[in-house]
Chain A
Amino acid sequence: MIARLLRRLFAHLDGPLLGLLALLLLISLATVYSASGASPEKMVAHLRNIGIALTAMFLVSHIPPQRLMQFAPPVYVLGVLLLVGVALFGVVVNGSRRWLDLGLARIQPSELMRLAGPMMLAWYFHYKQSTLGPRDFVLAAVLLALPVGFIAKQPDLGTSLLITASGFYVLFLAGLSWKVMVAGAVTAGAALPLAWNYLLHDYQRQRVMTLVDPMSDPLGAGYHIIQSTIAVGSGGMAGKGWMGGTQAHLDFLPERSTDFIFAVFSEEFGLVGNLFLLILYAAIIGRGLWLAASAPSLFGRLLAGSIVLTFFTYAFVNMGMVSGILPVVGVPLPLVSFGGTSMLTVLAGFGILMSLATHKKLVKT
């Protein structure tokens, strides 16, 4: 009786994926513990964040895909409206207009768009699947460009690029023509100098320049990259041991429990630890893609695939930034960095993935 109840409760959770995620969260706990200098407050907050996010994943995994599909357009519209609201009444913090003050709390609508964007596109392709044509791809691109444009204007280049990526994954999986992709890539390449000169803000240009030559401003813009690269490199083969990272514990690493937590991990666990982490991420992505492919509906497959590939993108961009091959963008290491919002969106995404893959008894379309 109880066993059956439990089985029903966990019916929509994928065991192997859950195991892999749990392993990653354990790594996160150990690393945040070290990065925060064994701060109990931080650990309590981190455990709370993980608890909330896991609960969200659990709950979301029970939502049937049809319901998610129904939600997609209204959530997207709400998101876009909020972005318009931000553009009109947003609160400026650190030079960026990203937040909307609702009196009770400040919200960042761009976070909502991380899931609402690909959901909307997946919904659109699902809706149009029987009559899919090039025109639909154009329309889908417009649906994507609308929120991305608002977010890029805030300015929040990192988020807008990542939402573009997750939208692109939907288009890609839906069968975007190779010709268009090649043409797009060529156009983008050609437009790069223009974008450099006219679209990017000074600080964004500087971040890229810093990547090319961090030593040009070692105590200013280059400081983050220099110190994180030193942390990673000095970790060596086996690392300095848990809690033994000098870069982290002597305050040389900035943002060490959030965006730069990978530097702490890398310094303390070395190449061996990094390899393990890469394999863990690869396994999660592999299992995720496998689950995505087993989703019964096109909506499910497209959305699930996009969620997994976006997860990969976040991990790649973060590790690339910390190890000095990508510019500094405010992207946390998914499921490892300290921070409630990121934890929640990523695990809720995996909840959706599990829901899409495990609700088999669907009306085949």
Chain B
Amino acid sequence: MRTRLINPEEEFRRYRQRMEIGAVVAGIMLLGLFVRFVWLQVVQYDRYHALAENNRIALVPAPPSRGVVYDRMGTVLAHNYSAYTLEITPSKAGKMDDLIDQLAAIVTIDVGDRKRFKKLLAESKNFESIPLRNQLSEEEAARFAVNRYRFPGVEVKARLFRQYPFGESFAHVVGYIGRIGQKDAEQLEATGRSANYRGSDHIGKLGVEASYEHWLHGRTGIEKVETDSSGRAVRVLSRTPPVSGHNLWLHVDSRLQQVAERMFGEYRGALVALDPRNGGVLALVSRPGFDPNLFIDGIDQASWEVLNHPVERPLINRALRGIYPPGSTIKPFMGLGGLELGLRQPGDTISDPGYFTLPGSSHRYRDWKKDGHGMVDLKKSITVSCDTYYYGLARDMGIERMAGFLRQFGFGQKSDVDLDGELPGLLPTPEWKQRRFKQPWWPGETVIAGIGQGYMLASPMQLALATMTLATRGMVYKPQLVKAWQDPLTGKVVHATPTRMGKLDFNERNLRLVQEAMVDVMLPGGTASGAGAGAPYLIAGKTGTAQVKSIKQGARYDEHRTALLHRDHALFIAYAPADNPKIALAVMVENGGHGGSVAAPIARKVMDYWLLGKLPDIGPGPAGSAAAEGGAAEEEQEDSVSLEERPLPRVEAGVEE
């Protein structure tokens, strides 16, 4: 290494040179930064702008308030109220059991709350908040607020709650809402409605709440909120207000509904009352009912078990889903069919020996009256409910023609009432039997179909609809629950127009004959003369009995001995006033025995209230309890024609042997 002497000038020149290089490099690097800034702030601006906006702006759904449901008089059947809930977001909370224990020290949390919470927790996703306690008092809410810092993931929310003030009276009409479950969410997703349910926890599950969900729910609004990095809302930037759901008015009259409900007493059963002038559903009762309020935020196990009692089955809407053999209530329709198809003339009479046999068979299809009704024409066949007449008529008509004629009245198909879950019932044909059982149709099956037994099944709704069609002289209306609705934006109330499904053309004379026969049913000599007694208006009715257990050939039917559960279902259809129908109804009383003694009195009270405004003396099931004793009053027996005879065992359907 050589040591050299450097003169200051050279040293300074080199320094200047190095410095210039340094300055140029620094300049280039600053230019590089500038290029980077141009890239970020000009070229990529849109992207970063969007990212910053995403950071800052949160869209918070503003759930709408659900539409209120009223009855025809404006009585509230379902409404909303505001209250506090204590809610836990599991993903943010710690160990759940400890947490609930600690919370229990501040607000009351009972065993039911815990159970329900566990159930909801198991069903939910982790990031949803789940209510632990509903309807906190002001004091409890305040006490929690003080301790809030101790419970991350727990908060008190003010929410709108649904309430059904009539409790179980309208459970099967109005139904209920419940928390949106997995299936509901999938359904909403599939129908493209999930955006509108952001922020909603509940959805209609049953009844009007379910079938009018699209109107009742309303439109979810959106709040554009500026949030800071911890997600706390700083201010509201803009707001699309939610639009409340439609308010609905039903045709149902809450007092009529309650009258009908009370008349059932302890009996299980169903009643459907329609307005023949427009098809409006005036009352729809299914007994026993249940309290829909239990379902809104998840039902606890104990209540759930009660509701799933194997016999009571309050959750089954018997008016729509209870399908029974229509029994003798089919006779007016069969009779009209006989006349219309030219198989019978009004004056044609048969001599009733108390049974019917098919040619070449010794099997006896028995009349409910052991010794027969004597000479019976069409009118009398309805009035006294003669089975033999219809055995013969059915054979002459044949099952195909029978099905074809009855179908016009709505049997075997859904009524399309604006409620979900209706069953179509069954109008059997040989083709159906072949398909269903891979068996041929037996002639005997046609015979018993003539008195509404065998395979034939109908719901109370179908019976009411068919009865209404008789009352309207063939005008078919679609049964309709909703009478009017209010557009939440304009406030305008729109009345539903009755939906006419068609007009059945019957010979005027034939129709009148059947109608007169039904009026006679309610008069002395008719099978429901007891229920019709003293009515200041004309009632057209028909009793019926749906057999629960088939009775062996030759065996005697003794309802005293038969276990209560094996007693027949009592049926009754009617419309009134017969000369200017304002109500048409069908009543079914499970294990009620005879239609005339149990079902018809219920119908009478309902008609009295509707037509006369007369409230029945409310006792615990006035019509029911007497019959439940087993000693049905004789004058109310279907077989009241023969008062001198003691109540007879009665078989409406023979069984092929």
Q: Which residue of A133, A282, A323 is within 8 Å of B3 (Cβ)?
A: A133
Interface-side segment among A26-34, A52-60, A101-109, A268-276: A268-276
Cβ of B37 under 8 Å from chain A: yes
Say yes or no: A234 contacts B49, CB within 8 Å: yes
Q: Which of A223-273 contact B (CB under 8 A)?
A: 227, 229-237, 246-247, 250-252, 266, 270-271
A138 to B417, CA, bound (A): 99
Say yes or no: A232 contacts B26, CB within 8 Å: no
A305 to B1, CA, bound (A): 28
Say yes or no: A271 contacts B38, CB within 8 Å: yes
Q: Known interface pairs A233-B44, A274-B41, A298-B11. Does A129 touch B6 (Cβ–Cβ under 8 Å)?
A: yes
Cβ of A80 under 8 Å from chain B: no
Q: Which residue of A173, A247, A316 is within 8 Å of B29 (Cβ)?
A: A316
A325 to B39, CA, bound (A): 12
* Residue of B whose beta carbon sits closest to that of A239: B41
Task: Tell me which residues across on chain B come within 8 A of A266, comparing CB atoms.
Answer: 37, 41
Q: Which of B20-67 contact A (CB under 8 A)?
A: 22-23, 26-27, 29-30, 33-34, 36-38, 40-42, 44-45, 47-49, 51-53, 55-56
A270 to B40, CA, bound (A): 10
Say yes or no: A229 contacts B22, CB within 8 Å: no
Q: Known interface pairs A233-B51, A278-B33. Does A131 touch B22 (Cβ–Cβ under 8 Å)?
A: no
Q: Known interface pairs A246-B56, A292-B19. Does A233 touch B1 (Cβ–Cβ under 8 Å)?
A: no
A-side interface residues, number (CB < 8 Å): 53
Cβ of A124 under 8 Å from chain B: no
Say yes or no: B34 contacts A172, CB within 8 Å: no
Cβ of B227 under 8 Å from chain A: yes
Cβ of A134 under 8 Å from chain B: yes
Cβ of B5 under 8 Å from chain A: yes
Task: Tell me which residues across on chain A come within 8 A of B11, comparing CB atoms.
Answer: 129, 175, 298
Most chain A beta-carbon neighbours within 10 Å: one of B1, B26, B228: B26
B224 → A minimal CB distance (Å): 13
Task: Tell me which residues across on chain A come within 8 A of B34, comparing CB atoms.
Answer: 274-275, 278
Say yes or no: A271 contacts B37, CB within 8 Å: yes
Say yes or no: A169 contacts B22, CB within 8 Å: yes
Say yes or no: A293 contacts B26, CB within 8 Å: no
Say yes or no: A234 contacts B37, CB within 8 Å: no
Cβ of B234 under 8 Å from chain A: yes
* Residue of A whose beta carbon sits closest to that of B14: A175
Say yes or no: A293 contacts B15, CB within 8 Å: yes
Task: Tell me which residues across on chain B come within 8 A of A237, comparing CB atoms.
Answer: 41-42, 45
Q: Known interface pairs A135-B1, A274-B34, A282-B30. Does A250 touch B40 (Cβ–Cβ under 8 Å)?
A: no
Cβ of A130 under 8 Å from chain B: yes
Task: Tell me which residues across on chain A come within 8 A of B4, comparing CB atoms.
Answer: 132-133
A134 to B4, CA, bound (A): 10
Cβ of B18 under 8 Å from chain A: yes
Query: What sequence of 0s and 1s flags, for each residue 97-137 of chain A, a beta carbon within 8 Å of any chain B beta carbon?
Result: 00000000000000000000000000000000111111100
Q: Which of B97-136 contact A (CB under 8 A)?
A: none
Cβ of B82 under 8 Å from chain A: no
Task: Tell me which residues across on chain B come within 8 A of A274, comparing CB atoms.
Answer: 34, 37, 41
Query: What sequence of 0s and 1s flags, for each residue 174-218 of chain B, a beta carbon within 8 Å of any chain A beta carbon?
Result: 000000000000000000000000000000000000000000000
A195 to B41, CA, bound (A): 35
Say yes or no: A133 contacts B26, CB within 8 Å: no
A364 to B22, CA, bound (A): 26
Cβ of A301 under 8 Å from chain B: yes
A320 → B minimal CB distance (Å): 7
A365 to B15, CA, bound (A): 16
B134 → A minimal CB distance (Å): 35
Say yes or no: A236 contacts B41, CB within 8 Å: yes
Q: Known interface pairs A233-B51, A251-B228, A285-B26. Does A305 touch B19 (Cβ–Cβ under 8 Å)?
A: yes
Task: Tell me which residues across on chain B come within 8 A of A232, comparing CB atoms.
Answer: 37, 40-41, 48
Say yes or no: B226 contacts A250, CB within 8 Å: yes
Most chain A beta-carbon neighbours within 10 Å: one of B11, B18, B37: B37
B43 → A minimal CB distance (Å): 9
Cβ of B362 under 8 Å from chain A: no
Cβ of B147 under 8 Å from chain A: no
Cβ of B230 under 8 Å from chain A: yes
Say yes or no: A132 contacts B19, CB within 8 Å: no
A303 to B47, CA, bound (A): 44
Query: What sequence of 0s and 1s flags, for each residue 272-308 of chain A, a beta carbon within 8 Å of any chain B beta carbon?
Result: 0011001001100110010011000010011001000
Say yes or no: A282 contacts B27, CB within 8 Å: yes
Say yes or no: B234 contacts A250, CB within 8 Å: yes
A278 to B22, CA, bound (A): 17
* Residue of B whose beta carbon sits closest to that of A130: B5
A250 to B229, CA, bound (A): 6
B181 → A minimal CB distance (Å): 31
A129 to B3, CA, bound (A): 11
Say yes or no: B37 contacts A323, CB within 8 Å: yes
Q: Known interface pairs A305-B22, A316-B30. Does A233 touch B45 (Cβ–Cβ under 8 Å)?
A: yes
A286 to B19, CA, bound (A): 10
A58 to B15, CA, bound (A): 27
Q: Which residue of A173, A230, A325, A364 is within 8 Å of B51 (Cβ)?
A: A230
Query: What sequence of 0s and 1s flags, for each residue 134-148 of chain B, a beta carbon within 8 Å of any chain A beta carbon?
Result: 000000000000000
B42 → A minimal CB distance (Å): 6
Most chain A beta-carbon neighbours within 10 Å: one of B3, B11, B22: B22
B410 → A minimal CB distance (Å): 63
Task: Tell me which residues across on chain B come within 8 A of A312, comparing CB atoms.
Answer: 26, 29-30
Cβ of B2 under 8 Å from chain A: yes
Cβ of A309 under 8 Å from chain B: yes
Task: Tell me which residues across on chain A come within 8 A of B234, comparing CB atoms.
Answer: 250
Task: Tell me which residues across on chain A come within 8 A of B53, comparing CB atoms.
Answer: 234
Cβ of A35 under 8 Å from chain B: no
Say yes or no: B15 contacts A286, CB within 8 Å: no
Cβ of A319 under 8 Å from chain B: yes
Say yes or no: B22 contacts A250, CB within 8 Å: no
A305 to B27, CA, bound (A): 15
Cβ of B16 under 8 Å from chain A: yes
A293 to B20, CA, bound (A): 10
A69 to B1, CA, bound (A): 28
A233 to B41, CA, bound (A): 4
A285 to B23, CA, bound (A): 8
Task: Tell me which residues across on chain A come within 8 A of B227, comparing CB atoms.
Answer: 250
Say yes or no: B19 contacts A173, CB within 8 Å: yes
A234 to B50, CA, bound (A): 8
* Residue of B whose beta carbon sits closest to that of A274: B37
Q: Which residue of A132, A175, A229, A286 is within 8 Å of B48 (Cβ)?
A: A229
A133 to B2, CA, bound (A): 7
A5 to B302, CA, bound (A): 97
Say yes or no: A172 contacts B18, CB within 8 Å: yes
A293 to B68, CA, bound (A): 86
Say yes or no: B47 contacts A233, CB within 8 Å: yes
Say yes or no: A289 contacts B55, CB within 8 Å: no
* Residue of A whose beta carbon sits closest to that of B234: A250
- Beyond A131-B3, A172-B18, 5 additional pairs, beta carbon < 8 A: A129-B11, A133-B1, A271-B37, A271-B42, A305-B22
A–B pairs, 12, beta carbons within 8 Å: A169-B22, A175-B18, A233-B47, A234-B52, A236-B45, A251-B228, A252-B55, A270-B41, A274-B41, A298-B11, A316-B29, A323-B33
Which residues does B use to contact A, with CB under 8 Å? 1-6, 8, 11, 14-16, 18-19, 22-23, 26-27, 29-30, 33-34, 36-38, 40-42, 44-45, 47-49, 51-53, 55-56, 226-230, 234
Q: Would you list the 9 A-B pairs with minimal beta carbon distance, nearest first?
A: A233-B48, A234-B52, A233-B40, A251-B229, A250-B228, A271-B41, A234-B48, A251-B228, A246-B56
